[in-house]
Each structure stands twice: as C-alpha cells, then as structure tokens.
C-alpha cells in the first residue's frame, strides 16, 4: 500500500543532529556544490545506522533542488583517526549517502606511522573504494584549500566561514516550525473554506443568524491563527537579518541567503493565502448576510400578508350603504376609523416593499424571489386604497341621497304644518284668503331646491347604491311629496277662488231698539241673518234683481271652497295617521330587537364570557319592565291605533283612555 513519505524535520532528529558527526556549514564548491563536513568524531563507528541515515537524509534535503542536482562535496576530517577508521568511515558514507556525490575529500591521519600506512593501504586497496565519484586523500589543510576556497570552509578546516552548530540548529528548527505552521494554516483555511462552501443556506431567520455567528467566530479564529503565523514568520526573518547584519558581507553563506529566501517565500505564501481567504470570506459573508436579509424579508412578508388578507376580508364586510342619514354618517366614521387603523399595516407593507427594492438594487442573489413579493405587496396596498376609495364614494353617494330625502321630507313636514296653521275661518275673507294664498305660493317656490324632481332621474343617478329597501324608501318619500303637493294645489285653487270674489256694497241699517234690548250680543248667525234681512229689505225697496242673483252665486261659491278645505284637511289627517302608525310599528320592532338580541342573550351560557362580572344577574336592573312595555304596545296600543286608521279625528281616545 502506497504511503506518503513524510520529510524529516530538525525537531524530529534534534538529538541526533546535536551529536555533530556531520553538518551542513553552508559552504559551496567552485561550481556551487553544497559541502557536507564530517568533523573528527571518535565515536563515528558507534552511531546507529538509523541515526546516520536520518542525518544524511535531512542534510541532503536542505539545499535547493538545483544545488543538490550538481552533487555534494564531502569533506571527511580524519586527521586524528586511524587508517582502519578512515577506511570504515569512507565505506560507510559511500554506502549510505542518499544523494548525488561530486567529490569526496579525505583529510588522512597526520601521524607519521598512520600517514605511511594510509598511503600504502590506499594504493593496495583501491578496489575497496570504487565509487561513482573520486575519493581524494589529502595530507594537509592547505591541500584542501586547493579544492575548496577558504571562505567556504569553517575555521576548524582553516577557513573563514562563520558557523555555529547550535545556532544553525535553532534557525533550522524555527524555519521548519514556521513552514509547518504555514502548511497547517493553509490546510485549516482550505478545510474551513470547504466547510463554508458546502454549508446549505437555512430557511429561517434564527438558523441563518446562528450559522452566520458560528462562521464568523471560526473566521475570527482562523484570522487569529494567520496573524500568529505571520508574526512568527516575521520574527524568524528578522532574526536571520540580524544575524546577517552582525557578520561581514563575505561571511554570509548561501544557506543563510536560502533561509531568508525560504522564510520570505513562506510569508508571501501566507499573505496570498490570507488574501484568497479574505476574498472567499467576503463572498461567503455577503451570501450569508443576504440570506439573513432574505429570511427577514420573507418573515416580514408572511406577517404583513396575513394582516393584509385580514384587512381585505374585513373591508369585504363593509357592504351596508345605510338606511338613514345618521346611519350613513356612522358608516363613514367607521370606514375612516378602519382606514386609520389599517394605515399601520399599509405603511409596513410599503416599507417592506421598499426594503425589497433596496435588496434588488444591491444585487441580491434572490432577486427572482424578492421581486414578485414586492409586486404583490404594492398590488395589495393599491387594491386596499382603491377599495377604500370605492366604498367612500358609495357612502358619499348614499349620504347625498339621504340628505336629499331628508330635505324633501322636511319640506313636506313644513308644508303640512303650514296648511295646518292656516285657520279656515280667516281664509273665508278676501284678505285672509289672499294672505294664505301668498304663503302657499311662496312655500311652493322653495320646492325647486328642496323636493325630488323626477323619480326615474333619482333611480338612474343613484343606481350604484340603490337596493330594494332604499328604492322603497325613495318611492315613499316621493309619494308623500306628491300627496302633499296635491293638497297644496287644491288649497291653492280654493284660496284663489275666495280671493277672486268681488266685495258687494253693504247698506248700513240702524237696529231697532227692541232688537238691541232683546239681544245685546247676538250670535254671528243671528247677526248675519239680520244683516241679510236688512239687505234684502233694502234690495226689495230698490228693486234690482241682479243683486239677489249675485248673492246666491256667492253663497254657492263659499260652500264649494269649504268642501275643498275639508278634503284637504282629511288628506292631512291621513298623513299624520300614517306617520303615527309607522312610528309605533318601528318602536315595537326596536323593542323586540333589544329583548331578543340583548335581554334573552344574557341567559345564554355561551355568551356569559362576553359579560363583565358586574353585569351578571343584573338583567332586571338593565331592562326593567321593557317586556311588559313591548307586550302593551304590540298587542294593545298598536292594534287600537290601527282601528282608528279611517277615523283619525278619534285617535285621541287611545291616549286619553291609556
């Protein structure tokens, strides 16, 4: 099964590196080959193979691939060792070295005996050192300088390269720790980004808010990790730069430059990762915030829609157009109050629609869902306004009609009162008749602005509000108006006849003394008879026949006018009687409504919860003897009034007897 090879880190083999049996000083050969130094280490043969392999693998992994590709130069310092150890060391290194080799330089033992022995042994044992690269035995450090410049060698090899193994180990540990931090941070951000991308958008406000808060907290933690990683990287880079500043320009080796480049590359990678994450988070945050805005909008839409539906249902019940002027005014006040109460819902709907339009302008991702809801809200608001306007128009029309009807009825009542207020005896004289006639004609002139002109015109003009009851009411008012006008015209004709009579001359006659003594205060009939007798006597003495004929004609004309007056009064009495009966019937109906709708319902257990505690068992206090009053008016008084319909002059008995 294939397994990923995990690269070694200094922290993993720190104890092995501290032994310093091999180190990478940073020196380079003439062609840029990295130099690995094997210093004098007496216990080299005792190093376990695993440790040796780990150190070799780690040291060869540090240079760049380009430098490692050139091949490594090994400097093996065995000046204090024995030939047998040199042979063993070279063979072990050659067998275990994990990278390309360019050259192996061995500083052989410096003792005379060991040097002589190494020369002889190396000549006779060349086959044991058969390697892919040459192995060069060096007698002294100056010989080494012929292959590697002194500036690329450490002081123990006669060079000038500044190298501290513990410092190098700390730097490698810090660099690799930072590199690991960068890697873990990148993996964490990638994992977090995958989590964000796979998150499904919630369907309610609470869940969306929770997701947004949770993701924001995770983002803040990730940003804090990024900040710490960047801080660590800058700290490592600063330490490398300080080290470089402390030494001379010639003492800076390639590994130090590579370390700085590595840290700078890691910092750049971290900055790029942060920028990419910030861009991704901005989009994700915008999406979540837009989702939250959408859920708030949808929740508000559901609430407002329910309110508007209830308002629409309520306004649909406003179908009554009123049966009187006061009723219509009451309906108009109710409509205005309902409009005012509904104004809050309308304002909320319009504000929500504006919020939706703002979301659309801000390029919200759910435009296709928001726009229809905004349109529906505007439609419902416009529909409500149109319906309120229509209902108000109908009620104003009804108000106008009822005002005209009341004006007509008031005009009729004033006319009836005018007729009733004209004494019949005063109308018998010419002056009285003329005065009464002027009153009637003046009153009839006011009819143009007070009475209903044409019934069909009324029906056509108010067709939109006329129902059966209102049409019947209009017809009755018009009929009452016509009847009243008919009475007026008859009275007018009678008065015209009375006013047109010529005044006849009367001869004054002195009464006889005995007549005055017998009747000091004669009745009008006797006086009139005396006057007639005197007149007739005078006429007989004078002899004109036409005067007697004229008196007979005037007498007949007076009797005709009196008959017409009686007929007019009879019509008025019938009107008064009709109004009295209508009023009594309405009173009986209203009493019944109160008894059935309120008094009886107080005993209904289903309605008990609607009564305040103070009204329980208070039916007798509230309604008293209303039921007895109803039975009296319904069974007795109304029936007696109906019996006097044809005899209105006797209706007073109903009141006197009761």
Instruction: Give DSSP secondary structure letters for 99-150.
Output: S-EEEEEEE---SHHHHHHHHHHHHHTGGGG--SS-EEEESSHHHHHTTS-G
Place of tokens 């017809």: 475
Measured between alpha carbons, how far is residue 311 from residues 156, 216, 340, 378, 476 in Å?
Answer: 98, 41, 12, 15, 38
Mean pLDDT of 148-175: 90
Sheet with 101-107, side-by-side order of all strands: 23-28, 34-38, 72-77, 101-107, 135-138
**Residues above pLDDT 70, as percent of the chain:** 83
Would strands 23-28 and 135-138 be described as parallel, antiparallel, or unpaired?
Answer: unpaired
- pLDDT exceeding 90 applies to what percent of the chain? 38
Q: Label residue 5 by pLDDT band (50, 70, 90).
A: low
DSSP code per residue over 185-201: HHHHHHHHHHHHHHPPP
Do the two domains 172-285 and 303-415 of this chain adopt the same fold? yes
Residue 503 has what pLDDT? 46
Output 554 or 387, whichever has higher pLDDT: 387
Residue 588: name the closest of 528, 542, 634 by CA. 634
Mean pLDDT in residue range 347-368:
93
Q: Name the class of domain 303-415.
A: mainly alpha
Strands 23-28 and 72-77: unpaired
Q: Give the pLDDT confidence score for residue 79 in this predicted structure.
A: 86
Decide if pLDDT at 362 tops 80: yes
Q: Is the pLDDT of residue 526 over 70?
A: no
Looking at the structure, give the CATH architecture of the domain made up of residues 172-285: Up-down Bundle (1.20)
Buried/exposed 57-70: b ≥16 CB within 10 Å, e otherwise: bbbbebbeeebbeb
Residue 610: which pLDDT band, with cuts at 50, 70 and 90?
A: low
- Has residue 222 got a pLDDT over 60? yes
pLDDT(558) > 60: no
CA 649 from centroid of its chain's CA atoms: 72
pLDDT of amino acid 170: 92
Q: In this structure, are strands 135-138 and 101-107 parallel, antiparallel, or unpaired?
A: parallel
For residues 166 and 154, give the distance between their C-alpha atoms in angstroms, rounded to a whole number: 14
- Say whether pLDDT at 451 is over 70: yes
Question: What are all long-range contacts of 448-457, with beta carbons under 8 Å and residues at least 24 apart?
Answer: 450/407, 450/408, 450/410, 450/411, 451/408, 451/411, 451/481, 451/485, 452/404, 452/405, 452/408, 452/477, 452/478, 452/481
pLDDT computed for residue 523 by the predictor: 36
Q: Which fold has domain 14-163?
A: Phosphatidylinositol Transfer Protein Sec14p (3.40.525)
Residue 394, pLDDT score: 93
For residues 508 and 538, what is the distance between their CA atoms, to the nearest angstrom? 10
Q: Higher model confidence: residue 430 or residue 382?
A: 382
pLDDT average, residue stretch 163-191: 91
Which residues are 34's β-sheet partners? 28
Q: Where are the domains of the chain?
A: 14-163, 172-285, 303-415
**Structure confidence by residue, pLDDT tens digits, 541-554:** 333 334 434 444 44
Residue identified by tokens 């005009």 is 411
Query: DSSP string spanning 623-652?
Result: HTTHHHHHHHIIIIIHHHHHHTTT-GGGTH
CB 591 within 8 A of CB 633: yes
The whole-chain average pLDDT of the chain stands at 81
Determine the Cα–Cα distance for residues 439 and 19; give it in Å rounded to an integer.
142
This prediction's pTM:
0.60
Separation of alpha carbons 424 and 400, rounded Å: 38
**Predicted confidence (pLDDT) per residue in 582-597, tens digit:** 888 888 888 888 887 7
Q: Enter the tokens of residue 18.
A: 């501290």
Helical (H) or strand (E) element with 38: strand 34-38
The pLDDT value recorded for residue 279 is 93
Which pLDDT does position 121 carry in this prediction?
Answer: 47
For 19-23, 120-124, 418-422, which range has the lowest pLDDT when averaged over its residues? 120-124
Cα of first residue to Cα of last residue in the chain, in angstroms, is: 121
Beta-carbon contacts of residue 483 (< 8 Å; ≥ 6 apart): 571, 575
CA distances from 38 to 99, 293, 312, 373, 472 (A): 16, 69, 96, 80, 127
- Is residue 125 pLDDT above 80, yes or no? no
Mean of pLDDT values over 194-213: 91
């Amino acid at each position: 099964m294939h397994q990923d090879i995990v690269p070694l880190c200094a922290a993993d083999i720190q104890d092995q590196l501290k032994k310093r049996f091999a180190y990478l000083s940073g020196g380079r050969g003439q062609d840029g080959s990295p130099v690995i130094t094997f210093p004098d280490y007496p216990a080299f043969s005792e190093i376990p193979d695993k440790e040796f392999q780990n150190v070799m693998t780690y040291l060869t992994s540090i240079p760049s691939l380009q430098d490692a590709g050139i091949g490594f130069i090994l400097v093996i310092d065995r000046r204090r060792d024995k030939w047998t150890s040199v042979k063993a060391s070279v063979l072990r290194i050659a067998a275990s070295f994990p990278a390309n080799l360019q050259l192996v330089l061995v500083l052989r033992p410096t003792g005379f005996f060991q040097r002589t022995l190494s020369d002889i042994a190396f000549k006779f044992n060349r086959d044991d050192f058969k390697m892919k690269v040459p192995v060069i035995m060096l007698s002294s450090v100056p010989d080494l300088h012929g292959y590697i410049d002194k500036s690329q060698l450490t002081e123990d090899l006669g060079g000038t390269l500044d190298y501290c193994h513990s410092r190098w180990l700390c730097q490698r540990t810090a660099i690799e720790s930072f590199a690991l931090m960068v890697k873990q941070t990148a993996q964490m951000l990638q994992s977090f980004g995958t989590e964000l991308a796979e998150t499904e958008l919630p369907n309610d406000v609470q869940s969306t808010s929770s997701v947004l808060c949770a993701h924001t907290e995770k983002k803040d933690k990730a940003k804090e990790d990024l900040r710490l990683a960047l801080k660590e990287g800058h700290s490592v880079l600063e330490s490398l730069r300080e080290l470089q500043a402390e030494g001379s320009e010639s003492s800076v080796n390639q590994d130090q430059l590579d370390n700085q480049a590595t840290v700078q590359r890691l910092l750049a990678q971290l900055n790029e990762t942060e920028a990419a994450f910030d861009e991704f988070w901005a989009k994700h945050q915008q999406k979540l915030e837009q989702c939250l805005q959408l859920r708030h909008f949808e929740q508000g839409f559901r609430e407002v829609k329910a309110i508007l539906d209830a308002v629409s249902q309520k306004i649909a019940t406003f179908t009554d157009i009123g049966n009187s002027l006061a009723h219509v005014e009451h309906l108009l006040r109710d409509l205005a109050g309902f409009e005012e109460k509904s104004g809050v819902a309308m304002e909320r709907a319009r504000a929500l629609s504006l919020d939706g339009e703002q979301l659309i302008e801000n390029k919200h991702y759910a435009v296709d869902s928001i726009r229809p809801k905004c349109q529906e809200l505007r439609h419902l608001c416009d529909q409500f306004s149109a319906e309120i306007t229509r209902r108000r128009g109908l009620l104003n029309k009804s108000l106008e009609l009822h005002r005209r009807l009341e004006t007509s009825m008031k005009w009729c009542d004033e006319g009836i009162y005018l007729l009733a207020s004209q004494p019949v005896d005063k109308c018998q004289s010419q002056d009285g008749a003329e005065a009464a006639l002027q009153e009637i004609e003046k009153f009839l002139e006011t009819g143009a602005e007070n009475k209903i002109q044409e019934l069909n015109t009324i029906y056509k003009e108010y067709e939109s509000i006329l129902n059966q009851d209102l049409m019947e009411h209009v017809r009755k008012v018009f009929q009452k108006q016509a009847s009243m006008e008919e009475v007026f015209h008859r009275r007018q004709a009678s008065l015209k006849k009375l006013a047109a009579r010529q005044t006849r001359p009367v001869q004054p006659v002195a009464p006889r003394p005995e007549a005055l003594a017998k009747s000091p205060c004669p009745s009008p009939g006797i006086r009139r008879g005396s006057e007639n007798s005197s007149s007739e006597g005078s006429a007989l003495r004078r002899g004109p026949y036409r005067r007697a004929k004229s008196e007979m004609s005037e007498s007949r004309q007076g009797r005709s006018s009196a008959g017409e007056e009686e007929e007019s009064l009879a019509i008025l009495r019938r009107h008064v009687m009709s109004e009295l009966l209508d009023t009594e019937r309405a009173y009986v109906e209203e009493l019944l409504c109160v008894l059935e709708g309120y008094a009886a319902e107080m005993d209904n257990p289903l309605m008990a919860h609607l009564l305040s505690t103070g009204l329980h068992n208070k039916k007798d206090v509230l309604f008293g003897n209303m039921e007895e009053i109803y039975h009296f008016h319904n069974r007795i008084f109304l029936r007696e009034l109906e019996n006097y319909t044809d005899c209105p002059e006797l209706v007073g008995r109903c009141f006197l007897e009761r």
